[in-house]
Amino acid sequence: MSPVAPSIPRVTHCLSFVDSHSAGEPTRVVLDGFPELPGETLAQQREALGRDFDRWRTLVNLEPRGNDVLVSALLLPPKQPDCVAGVIYFNNAGPLGMCGHGTMGLVSTLAYLGRIGPGDHRIDTPVGVVTATLHDDGRVSVANVPAYRHLQNVSVNVEGLGEIRGDVAWGGNWFFLVDVGERVLSLEDVAGLGDETLRIRQALSDAEITGEDGAEIDHIELFSHAGGVNRNFVMCPGGAYDRSPCGTGTSAKLACLAADGQLQPGQVWRQESVIGSVFEGVYSLEGDQVRPVITGQAFITMQGELIVQDGDPFAWGIRP
Ligand code: PYC
């Protein structure tokens, strides 16, 4: 009797990827297999992704192939001259503007694949061109888009917490930054910190406090200087906290420190995350905004192919 061939569902889609983490926060670079996104600019392509191709985002980023913490980086041909790559970042909630830790992951991935070497590399993003420097020792410095403080010392009434004050700043994404003074931000308390920051975000939305042009403030950042250490806790749009000190969040913080005269151009700011990992930031002045440069390191963790088989009920992710 000849053996019966097992029935293996046909593979309908296959996307190659490389995963890394930057200071603990994961990045998945999608190299190919994604459909072509229409648009003359990366901003238009990001819009198209959110509008017409969202199931591809959820395929890559949501369980069972991804998770809530993951930020994905779709590698694209750049639209701007002299750029080594174009990229659109997205997470479990939708497309992002910029992503600092993700840019470190992208640059380390391109180096791992042998596509770039040490030096300066211009990268096209939906919110502008950033320049990343790959150092000989593997660290990556990201000269981010200009950052600025939009609103200072805004008061918001938060359910269960009372009045909270903070600044609204742009660092490539919109942030509400709350100084919690000497309070210790510890990994043991991430559930409580998560609950607190999500309440703050809700209160901002209820009070219609926004970034410029009504933009949603989708990142909440608590800052502590307990024991003389600058530590933060950053809540990301999809309800997961940033394991890294957050590149765009550190950029927003630099803008606020500059506006308050608490940090001079070129002076190094050491920013620790709630898991104890560190980015370093400096800034230079650009008119009434600052140009932040954030330095950290990414490590490659995985390489492979995301496979979709015919008939998989969770091919497009487990959605709420
Ligand atoms: O590093 O900019 C960042 C970032 C944004 C969201 C998660 N990480």
One domain, residues 110 and 47? yes
One domain, residues 65 and 139? yes
Contact 9, 315 (CB under 8 A): no
> 97 pLDDT exceeds 70?
yes
One domain, residues 286 and 152? yes
Instruction: Quote the ligand 1 centre to 149 CA distance (angstroms).
Output: 18
- Which ligand 1 atom lies nearest to the CA of residue 102? 1
Q: How many domains does one find in the chain?
A: 2
> 151 pLDDT exceeds 80?
yes
Domain of residue 287 covers 148-291
> 127 pLDDT exceeds 70?
yes
One domain, residues 287 and 161? yes
Position 319 in a domain: no
Whether the CB of 71 sits within 6 Å of ligand 1: yes
pLDDT category of residue 1 using cuts at 50, 70 and 90? low
ipTM, two decimals, is: 0.99
Average pLDDT over residues 260-283: 98
One domain, residues 59 and 157? no
Position 1 in a domain: no
One domain, residues 48 and 93? yes
pLDDT category of residue 4 using cuts at 50, 70 and 90? confident
Position 38 in a domain: yes
One domain, residues 47 and 169? no
> 128 pLDDT exceeds 80?
yes
- Check which CATH number belongs to the domain holding 278 and give it: 3.10.310.10
Position 315 in a domain: no
Position 317 in a domain: no
Q: What is the pLDDT of residues 213-254, one digit of tens each?
A: 999 999 999 999 999 999 999 999 999 999 999 999 999 999
One domain, residues 105 and 216? no
For ligand 1, atom 8, name the residue with the nearest CA. 246
Compute the distance between CA of residue 244 and CA of residue 21 in angstroms, rounded to an integer: 9
- Which ligand 1 atom lies nearest to the CA of residue 171? 2
One domain, residues 86 and 178? no
Average pLDDT, the chain: 97
Whether the CB of 116 sits within 6 Å of ligand 1: no
Average pLDDT over residues 28-41: 98
Position 74 in a domain: yes
> 15 pLDDT exceeds 90?
yes
Whether the CB of 101 sits within 6 Å of ligand 1: yes
Average pLDDT over residues 100-118: 98
One domain, residues 209 and 271? yes
Active site residue 246: yes
How many other CB atoms sit within 10 Å of the CB of residue 220? 29
One domain, residues 201 and 276? yes
Average pLDDT over residues 125-152: 97
Please name the residue that has the structure tokens 């660290």.
139
Average pLDDT over residues 133-145: 98
Catalytic residue among 83, 236, 246, 256: 246
Position 69 in a domain: yes
Position 170 in a domain: yes
One domain, residues 128 and 174? no
Q: What is the pLDDT of residues 277-292, one digit of tens each?
A: 999 999 999 999 999 9
Whether the CB of 28 sits within 6 Å of ligand 1: no
pLDDT category of residue 2 using cuts at 50, 70 and 90? low
